[in-house]
Amino acid sequence: MAVPKRRQSNQKTRSRRAHDFLTPRQLTYCPTCGKAVPTHRICATCGHYQGRPVVNVVE
């Protein structure tokens, strides 16, 4: 069975694993109320999606 000849350096390991970590959520701003909302989601504050009312929000 093949075995590595030398120990892998920390830099090599970290650069290989650089894509494994979580990325922050991409946020957009609601055109009606201006709150930050994740992309492709209905605004929880005003109930709009892409500038149109979708859900009636009870205050």
Going by pLDDT thresholds of 50, 70 and 90, the confidence category of residue 57 is confident
- 36 contacts: CB under 8 Å, gap ≥ 6: 27, 28, 29, 30
Distance CA 22, CA 49 (A): 26
* pLDDT exceeds cutoff 90 at 26: yes
Distance CA 58, CA 40 (A): 21
- 39 contacts: CB under 8 Å, gap ≥ 6: 26, 27, 28
Q: What is the model's pTM?
A: 0.57
* pLDDT exceeds cutoff 90 at 1: no
